[in-house]
Amino acid sequence: MGSECSSVVAEELHVLAVDDCLVDRKVIERLLKISSCKVTAVESGTRALQYLGLDGEKSSVGFDGLKVNLIMTDYSMPGMTGYELLKKIKSSSNLREIPVVIMSSEKVLARIDRCLEEGAEEFLVKPVKLSDVKRLRDIILRGDENDEKKGSRKRKLQDLSPTSSLARDLTPLKPASAASKQSRLKRPRLKNTD
């Protein structure tokens, strides 16, 4: 295991969910709780940054003292979009190692590529399913070893056939994204395995 790994030993993942839609917040909260995750749901990118303490340049410990292990954010939000939030997180030395997943009801390839290039862990098409959340949870907990080896990015489009559901794009990454990739592999370990 990497010596750089400052692993978070936690019993549950703590996920920060960001979505301006009240209904979607309720659903994602439930999806996460059923998947044994702690959830903090906020309605905007601004609130998310406040929670993460980015304003005050503190560490990624939320106000209630819980470290955030994953951020799931909607793409289309008024004010700050999910993409803008992603950029802010990835350019923060304190927060850039937190995996960020973008959710969107629109499968726009340019949008997906943009997010992945900026360092998003995944791009999920809404409505998000329980299987998506469970898969994310496994990825965060175990780390994606393929990702480590190949330095590749994942693209998940729900309508693609199972055989092509993962499109590996090996376009060279920008320096900022590459740096965030290496430090992204700090993953929490469970005290008790399931």
Partner 1 sequence: MERNLHRQLANMKKSLFDQGYLDHEQFTQLEELQDEANPNFVEEVVTLYYRDSARLIQNIEQALEKNPLDFAKLDNYMHQFKGSSCSIGARKLKNECTQFIEYCKTGNGEGCKRTFQQLKKEYSSLKKKLEHYFQFARQVGPLEKACRPK
Residues lying near partner 1 in the complex (CB under 8 A) are found at: 21-24, 26-27, 30-31, 34, 76, 105, 126-127, 129-130
Radius of gyration of the chain (CA): 15
Instruction: Give the Cα separation of 80 and 27 in Å (integer).
Output: 22
Would the CA dihedral through 140, 33, 129, 17 be positive or negative?
Answer: negative
**96 vs 126 by CB, closer to partner 1:** 126
CB of 174 to partner 1, least distance (A): 30
Q: Are 152 and 168 in contact (CB under 8 A)?
A: yes
Instruction: Give the Cα separation of 10 and 21 in Å (integer).
Output: 29
**130 vs 178 by CB, closer to partner 1:** 130
CB of 97 to partner 1, least distance (A): 30
CB of 76 to partner 1, least distance (A): 7
**24 vs 144 by CB, closer to partner 1:** 24
Instruction: Give the Cα separation of 56 and 67 in Å (integer).
Output: 16
**5 vs 130 by CB, closer to partner 1:** 130
